[in-house]
Structure formats: structure tokens, C-alpha cells
Amino acid sequence: MPTDRLYLKDSYLKECEAIIENISDNKVILDRTIIHPHASGLVSDQGVIIYNNEELNIIDAIDDRENDNVIHILDKKPTFNVNEKVKIVINWNRRYKLMRMHTASHIIAALAYKKFNAMITGGEITEEYARDDYNINLSGDALKNAFSDIIKEANNIAKKAIEVKIYNMKKEEALKIEGIVKLLEREPPKSEIWRIVEIPGVDIQADGGPHVNNTSEIGDIELVKIENKGKDKKRVYFKVI
Ligand SMILES: [Zn+2]
């Protein structure tokens, strides 16, 4: 059975109960989870699985796309068995930071696309910083100024307190939306129904990740540094504070 990914419907769930479906050494699959796995540059959530007052740390989670399961990696071999009930508690501080950073990256990417037709060629979102690689044809001060302006504008947009909308759409309908394909790799290819994340008037993406409900939750976005890694790789680091 595919894992029921509760975070797709509600990114704010901090704990849930779940049934153990499979155990292999320190790798555990549950019937449902609030833990978002490592996917497309976004680091995995962390948390604990609680069983009989024992807490086991979830140090990583892998997206098993083949079977549509989330594999939770624990710091040690569990004592529980298949079919037993456990509780999952997420490391909320980490998750919330990732949600804020991730939503900020949507606004920045949308602005880079609108102003410079720049597409993302790679990226990483961690608890400390986020970075996106852009195929933007600028360098030196021009590049620096471009992204200083984009971050300034992104902060203004965030402060407008725009509600982030999440809904499902048929693949054939979604493909008609301009700009929706720029992060397509983040969507499970087999899926006929796509999860759409829309910041109205700013950005629309097919996206399976957790985001904040309102852009005002992002806080202040700060440009950290820019590295010129070649023609298609202007690496922009930022963080939220
Ligand atoms: Zn996203």
C-alpha cells in the first residue's frame, strides 16, 4: 500500500498515529506519515517515532517512488513489530523553517523567471539556507544587483500576506498553465492528478512539498551570496530570518 502522505493535505500537522507496515533493519514504512522525505534538493524532515514510551529518532526519510512509500530511517533498530501502532512527532522548528524557505524560493524563482526568463537548473533547501541555480545570462555586479533587487521585491511580496493555495488538478489541465513546467521534476511522473501550489498573482507550480499558508509567515528573506558556477549555474544562496 502506498504511504498516506498527510503533509500533502496539511503541512501544519505536528504529530500523528500510524501503523507499522514494514521493517527492514532501521528502515521503517508506516501506513501514513507527516514526515516529508528528501526530494529534489529539499532535505528530509526529522522527528521521533514513539512506541511504549521509547523514542526513536527519525534521522532521514527517503521517497520510494517505485512503490509510492516514504521510508523512515531511524538511528537504531526498532523494538516494535509490523502492525503495531506508534506515534510520529515531527521536529517542527526544522520543518517550519523549511516551509518558510521553500515558499520564499517560489517567489524568488517566479521573479527571476518574469524579469530575466531565468529557469532553475538545480537547488537545495536546508534548515540553514536555500540555494537555487539559475541559467541567467548575467555576471559580476549586474548579477549581484539583479538578485539584490529580486530579494527586495520578494520581501515586499511576502509582506503582502498572500494566501498560498493548494489544490489538485488533472495533469492535462495543469500542462496548459504557462510556467508550470519549470519545476516539473518535483512531481511524481506516474501521477495523473497534480498537486498545485499557487501564490496568486506571483507563482504557480506543480509541487509535492510543504509550504506556509500565508506569505507573511516567511519573515525576512536575506541574500547570503552568489557564486558564478558557469553559464547555466549562477548559484544564489539565501536564508529567512
Ligand atoms: Zn514548492
**What per-residue confidence (pLDDT) applies to 182?**
61
Look up the CATH number of the domain holding residue 155.
3.30.980.10
Answer yes or no: do 104 and 146 share one domain: yes
**Alpha-carbon gap, residue 110 to 117, rounded angstroms:** 9
CA of 86 to the centre of ligand 1 (A): 29
CA of 188 to the centre of ligand 1 (A): 14
CA of 79 to the centre of ligand 1 (A): 36
User: Model-level pTM?
Assistant: 0.94
CA of 77 to the centre of ligand 1 (A): 33
Report CA Rg, the chain: 19
**What per-residue confidence (pLDDT) applies to 153?**
98
- Please say if the pLDDT value at position 184 is more than 50: no
Phi, psi of 118 (to 5 degrees): -85, 135
CA of 181 to the centre of ligand 1 (A): 13
CA of 155 to the centre of ligand 1 (A): 17
Answer yes or no: do 84 and 99 share one domain: no
CA of 42 to the centre of ligand 1 (A): 9
Q: Which of 59, 90, 121 is the last residue of a domain?
A: 90
Domain boundaries, position 155: 95-240
Answer yes or no: do 209 and 230 share one domain: yes
- Adjacent-strand bridge partners of 238: 130, 223
Quick: pLDDT tens for 137-160. Answer: 999 999 999 999 999 999 999 999
Q: Comparing C-alpha atoms, which of 65, 79, 66 is closest to residue 28?
A: 79
CA of 156 to the centre of ligand 1 (A): 19
Answer yes or no: do 134 and 212 share one domain: yes
Determine contact, residues 200/163, Cβ cutoff 8 Å: yes
**What per-residue confidence (pLDDT) applies to 190?**
62
Answer yes or no: do 159 and 45 share one domain: no
Look up the CATH number of the domain holding residue 67.
2.40.30.130
CA of 151 to the centre of ligand 1 (A): 17
E strands, 129-230, in order:
130-134, 165-170, 193-199, 203-206, 221-228
CA of 82 to the centre of ligand 1 (A): 33
> What's the number of domains the chain is made of?
2
Q: Which amino acid is at 165?
A: K
Question: CA of 84: how far to CAs of 7, 22, 61, in Å?
Answer: 22, 10, 20
Q: What is the mean pLDDT of the chain?
A: 93
CA angle 37, 131, 97 (to 5 degrees): 55
CA of 241 to the centre of ligand 1 (A): 19
The bridge status of strand 4-5 relative to strand 32-33 is parallel
CA of 146 to the centre of ligand 1 (A): 22
CA of 101 to the centre of ligand 1 (A): 9
Answer yes or no: do 190 and 99 share one domain: yes
Answer yes or no: do 69 and 100 share one domain: no
CA of 161 to the centre of ligand 1 (A): 17
CA of 199 to the centre of ligand 1 (A): 10
Q: Which of 44, 73, 90 is the last residue of a domain?
A: 90
Cell of 200: 496568486
Answer yes or no: do 112 and 192 share one domain: yes
Q: Which of 90, 117, 147 is the last residue of a domain?
A: 90
Answer yes or no: do 104 and 86 share one domain: no
Quick: pLDDT tens for 79-111. Answer: 999 999 999 999 999 999 999 999 999 999 999
